């Protein structure tokens, strides 16, 4: 049979392996970096091991290279198998579970009687290198369910047997490398020797199948790349990420803390952290008012019947908290949409009243599993910059466009690049196919009209409507989900929302659920890591700190402090009887943007010596010149985006 392979077409005999066919058509360099192949082009068709025979009906064969996203995913999954083989060699009593590839690497979950130590990870890595050096081939075999269950049960691998029982398939494929056998659909790299660069990075706890009622396992994380240079670059980024960890910087900068006695996933905000939040939230309120939003607020507790009416009780209750008051069930709100619909419904609305835009910085609670809580990035209580727009269908595209433009302005202010995707109807959802199609088309049409590219994320929409997810990229090229726009025809129907149209009849509005920053806590966690704790001057809780050389300058410094505050600068003074170098270093560690040193010469000149947190020296300036410099830097990103800066919270001495 004839098979097309890239630019060539070759004659392939029946039963010939994919490896043989590809080797004939590809150059030696290309074949060397081929890890697997796909029967069919354009990213479609069955993915096969190189050892698999070319299917009889295969018209084209596409190589999967190590330096492509698909090849990297395959390489990492195979590395997870190699790691599991090494763990079994070193710790024969361990039970293996699952080991997938993930965005930046892979993991494998193990059931073991004791915790893995850093020394264990080093030993596992060394054993993996030995397995790689042995260049063990990955060999695939298909077994009947009974054969596979019997085999893994005899090996004591009860988790594998459970997986097969739950899947309910008649046959299963297993892969062997060396003396290690694993349940897997595949495909895999041709042999362990194809692995060129890998690193184990950490170990953490994980419940079996994410269920808190099931055994706690140990999850070993790692990463793998097609070449050592890429691995080295990734590990350097990882080290930089550790330095920027918002949990570490939150303590260093005295912004927030977490306490077991308060409960997991509940942040306690310290004065400086709360000041950053206040600046950010006040900015958001002003921007929303400028853009035609009304600020509203709803209760934290709402009757259970309301959550039943909305569909949250049937589709979202596992993420909610419920309580009883006077024998009446209440739900703690995980989002703010219900109160906003009640506001709309509180009086008759005309078509002339629409659109109505309700904005709330609402405190919400969601039951996140303890294993996924992570500093500010995953909490149980958070404040959401939530808004709901109720509009006529003919206004929908303009409203979606307006929200996207709003998000663009905010991302530009903070210096974030971003990507967009449209998430479509999930299996667990409410509403008619017609309404879902109308909502999805509206989101697509708005982005097409603006000219913004987007990907389709099938089946990941909210249970009541499709959504645009805007993923920002931070300084380390990591993606973070913050802003989202959800289009909803269903909840207005469930709550019988209507407006009186130009024809005097009742009409159903459309509702947009949207956030710009998302959870304020999460966004601040991302910001801390993006800026490595060095907030831009406009957002820094303390913009300037005055430092004295000796006590002789205290009186002058207090006068300068008052003057700076009068200009609207957030300033404070360090009058401690400490060495100047110590005080400068402390201010730098606290990421204070402007460090103003005052000695006898500065007192005589009625000025301050201006230093920046990065060590640059701006020379001697008067208090007024210093304030103008600070305020100009604060205003600059706002003026660039056509917004206004006006924050002048004072700091204490």
- Domain boundary, last residue among 232, 264, 288: 232
Q: Are residues 364 and 505 in the same domain?
A: yes
Closest by CA position to 407, among listed 440, 462, 446, 368: 446
Question: 94 and 8 in one domain?
Answer: no
Cα Rg, the chain, nearest whole Å: 30
Same domain, 42 and 114: no
122 contact partners, CB below 8 Å, separation of at least 6: none
Query: Do 228 and 181 lie in a common domain?
Result: yes
CA-CA distance, 218 to 223, in Å (whole number)? 17
| Two structure tokens written together for 200 | 């184990």
Pair 450, 560 in one domain: no
My answer on whether 597 and 502 are in the same domain is no
Nearest to 580 by CA among 563, 606, 562, 602: 602
Q: Which residue, chain included where needed, has tokens 């010939």?
A: 16
In this structure, the answer to whether residues 57 and 87 fall within a common structural domain is no
Please state, in angstroms and rounded to a whole number, the distance separating the CA atoms of residues 471 and 467: 13
**What tokens were used for 309?**
């009416």
Tokens 């949250």 — which residue? 312
pLDDT at residue 652, rounded to an integer? 63
651 within domain boundaries: no
- Cα gap 133→58, rounded to integer Å: 34
Give 53's DSSP letter.
Answer: B
Per-residue tokens: 641: 């985006």
Q: Is 465 found in the same domain as 573? A: no
Question: What's the count of helices (H) and strands (E) in the chain, helices before strands?
Answer: 20, 34
pLDDT (tens digit per residue) in 42-83: 657 888 989 988 888 888 888 899 889 999 999 999 999 999
DSSP assigned state of 214: S
Q: Give the domain-ending residue among 65, 92, 118.
A: 65
Give the tens place of pLDDT for each residue, 499-508.
999 999 999 9
Domain assignment present for residue 537? The answer is no
pLDDT at 245: 95
Task: State the first-to-last Cα distance of the chain, in angstroms, to the nearest integer.
Answer: 84
pTM: 0.83
Write the CATH number for 48. 3.10.20
CATH, residue 488? 3.30.930.10
Same domain, 149 and 227: yes
Domain that holds residue 569: 544-640
What's the number of domains the chain is made of? 4
Stretches where the chain sits below pLDDT 50 are none
Residues sharing a CB contact under 8 Å with residue 395, sequence separation 6 or more, in sequence order: 354, 355
Domain shared by 74 and 60, yes or no:
no
Q: Coil, strand or helix: which one is 502?
A: coil
Q: Are residues 91 and 198 in the same domain?
A: yes
pLDDT given at position 41? 63
- Pairwise CA distance, residues 405 & 313, whole Å: 33
Same domain, 473 and 398: yes
Note whether residue 634 is domain-resident. yes
Specify if 248 maps to a domain.
no
- The 10s digit of each residue's pLDDT in 447-469 is 999 999 999 999 988 888 899 99
- Which residues, in sequence order, are CB contacts of 97 under 8 Å at separation 6+? 108, 109, 110, 111, 159, 160, 208, 217
Q: Indicate which residues carry an active-site annotation.
A: 337, 366, 384, 386, 388, 467, 513
CATH code of residue 595: 3.40.50.800
Collapsed DSSP state (helix, strand, coil) of residue 57: coil
Residue pair 75/227 in contact (Cβ under 8 Å)? The answer is no
Helices 118-133 and 69-90 cross at an angle (nearest 10°) of: 110
d(CA 533, CA 530): 8
- In this prediction, residue 258 carries a pLDDT of 95
């Amino acid at each position: 049979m004839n098979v097309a392979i890239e630019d060539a077409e070759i004659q392939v005999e029946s039963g010939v392996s994919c490896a043989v066919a590809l080797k004939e058509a590809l150059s030696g360099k290309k074949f060397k970096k081929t890890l697997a192949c796909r029967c069919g082009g354009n990213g479609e068709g069955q993915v096969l091991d190189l050892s698999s025979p070319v299917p009889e009906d295969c018209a084209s064969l596409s190589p999967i290279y190590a330096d492509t996203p698909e090849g990297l995913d395959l390489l990492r999954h195979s590395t997870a198998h190699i790691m599991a083989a090494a763990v079994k060699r070193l710790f024969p009593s361990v039970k293996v579970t699952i080991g997938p590839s993930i965005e930046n690497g892979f993991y494998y979950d193990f059931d073991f009687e004791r915790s893995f130590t850093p020394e264990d990870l080093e030993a596992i890595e060394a054993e993996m290198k030995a397995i790689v050096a042995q260049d063990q081939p990955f060999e695939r075999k298909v077994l009947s369910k009974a054969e596979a269950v019997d085999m893994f049960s005899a090996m004591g691998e009860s988790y594998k047997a459970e997986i097969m029982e739950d899947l309910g398939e008649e046959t299963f494929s297993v892969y062997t490398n060396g003396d290690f056998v694993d349940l897997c659909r595949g495909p895999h790299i041709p042999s362990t020797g194809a692995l060129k660069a890998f690193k184990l990075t950490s170990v953490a706890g994980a419940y079996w199948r994410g269920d808190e009622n099931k055994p706690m396992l140990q999850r070993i994380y790692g990463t793998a790349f097609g070449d050592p240079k890429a691995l080295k670059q990734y590990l350097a980024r990882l080290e930089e990420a550790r330095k920027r960890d918002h949990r570490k910087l939150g303590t260093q900068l005295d912004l927030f803390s977490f306490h077991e006695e308060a409960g997991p996933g509940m942040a306690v905000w310290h004065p400086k952290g709360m000041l950053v939040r206040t600046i950010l939230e006040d900015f958001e309120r002003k921007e929303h008012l400028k853009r035609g939003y009304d600020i509203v607020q709803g209760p934290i507790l709402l009757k259970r019947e309301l959550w039943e009416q909305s569909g949250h009780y049937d589709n979202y209750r596992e993420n909610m908290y419920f309580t009883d008051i006077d024998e009446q069930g209440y739900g703690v709100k995980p989002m703010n949409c219900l109160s906003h619909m009640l506001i709309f419904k509180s009086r008759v609305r005309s078509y002339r009243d629409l659109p109505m835009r309700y904005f709330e910085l609402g405190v919400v609670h969601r039951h996140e599993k303890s294993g996924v809580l992570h500093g500010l990035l995953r909490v149980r209580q958070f404040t959401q910059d939530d808004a709901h727009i109720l509009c006529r269908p003919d206004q929908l595209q303009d409203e979606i466009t307006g929200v996207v433009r709003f998000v663009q302005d905010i991302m530009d202010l903070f210096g974030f690049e971003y990507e967009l995707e449209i998430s479509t109807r999930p299996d667990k959802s409410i509403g008619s196919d017609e309404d879902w199609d109308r909502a999805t088309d509206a989101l697509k049409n708005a982005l097409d009209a603006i000219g913004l590219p987007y990907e389709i994320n099938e089946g990941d929409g909210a249970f009541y409507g499709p959504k645009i997810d805007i993923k920002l990229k931070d300084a380390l090229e990591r993606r973070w989900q913050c802003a989202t726009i959800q289009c909803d025809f269903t909840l207005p129907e469930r709550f019988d929302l209507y407006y009186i149209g130009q024809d005097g009849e009742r009409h159903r509005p459309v509702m947009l659920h949207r956030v710009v920053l998302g959870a304020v806590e999460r966004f601040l966690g991302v910001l801390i890591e993006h800026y490595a704790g060095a907030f831009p001057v406009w957002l820094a809780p303390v913009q300037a700190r005055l430092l004295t050389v000796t006590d002789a300058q205290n009186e002058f410094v207090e006068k300068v402090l008052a003057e700076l505050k009068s200009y609207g600068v957030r300033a404070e003074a360090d009058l401690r009887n400490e060495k100047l170098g110590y005080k400068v270093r402390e201010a730098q560690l606290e990421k204070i943007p402007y460090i103003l040193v005052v000695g006898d010469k500065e007192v005589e000149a009625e000025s301050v010596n201006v230093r920046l947190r990065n060590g640059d020296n701006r020379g001697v300036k008067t208090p007024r010149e210093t304030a103008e410099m600070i305020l100009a830097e604060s205003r600059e990103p706002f003026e660039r985006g056509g917004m206004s800066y006006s924050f002048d919270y004072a700091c204490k001495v």
